[in-house]
Amino acid sequence: MGTRDLILDAAAQVMAEHGLANVTTRQIARAAGFTEATLYKHFTGKAELMQAVLRERSPGFVQLARALRGAGGLADDLTAAARAAIDFYRAGFPMFASVFADPATLAAHREGLRRQGGGPHKANEALAGYLRAEQEAGRVRADADVRAAAGLLLGACFQHAFLGHMAEPGHRDGAEAAASFVRTLLDTLVPASRP
């Protein structure tokens, strides 16, 4: 495993345990077994490091992209996307929350996303694009608002992940919630069957 990968692994662990605002690049470098100078050879700072952790070490990120390629049928693809979004949001909450705790960290994070052409809106755009393709194929109603549908599904996933961190008794697991969200959404998206 290369130096960059070891730093990312250490960063993922340290940030998940302490949140982004509560760790330093020195702590991350030390956890990886390197100097801070070595960390800076691969990353410009904590904001870039967090973005790399979210992209490369979050369980749901790759699965979400895979689900939106459209290989399993509308219901299966959306359920896989919802499950991946729940996993991604659940894993990322300790980092997300700490970004908002410090205005300088938030500004650096926003700037890093802008430079990379990324941001949380990209998931919504990707899901809306998938739904638009399904709409063009006739599997989603022609009058359906695919942008709103994407926002509703991902918003429900985000809230579910948040509530999971609050440890509500009886809180549904991610797979059950994802399937339920998709069933509800499909009621408004799928064209009525013809007699």
**CATH number of the domain within which 81 lies:** 1.10.357.10
Reported confidence tier of residue 194, pLDDT bands at 50, 70, 90 = very low
Count of domains forming the chain: 2
**36-43: average pLDDT:** 94
Structural domain boundaries enclosing 31: 1-57
Shared domain check, 5 and 72: no
Domain end position, chosen among 36, 57, 78: 57
> What percent of the chain stands above pLDDT 90?
46
The values of phi and psi at residue 192, to 5°, are -65, 140
Q: Which pLDDT tens digit goes with each residue over 172-186? A: 688 899 999 999 999
Shared domain check, 143 and 47: no
Shared domain check, 45 and 66: no
C-alpha angle 121-122-123 in degrees, rounded to nearest 5 = 90
Q: Report whether pLDDT(122) > 50.
A: yes
Shared domain check, 149 and 115: yes
Shared domain check, 52 and 147: no
Domain end position, chosen among 15, 42, 57: 57
Q: Which pLDDT tens digit goes with each residue over 65-96? A: 777 777 788 999 999 999 989 988 887 777 77
Domain end position, chosen among 57, 83, 105: 57
Measured distance CA(160)–CA(85) in Å, rounded = 10
Shared domain check, 167 and 85: yes
Of 78-87, 106-115, 165-174, the poorest mean pLDDT is in 165-174
Shared domain check, 180 and 88: yes
Measured distance CA(35)–CA(167) in Å, rounded = 37
Shared domain check, 130 and 50: no
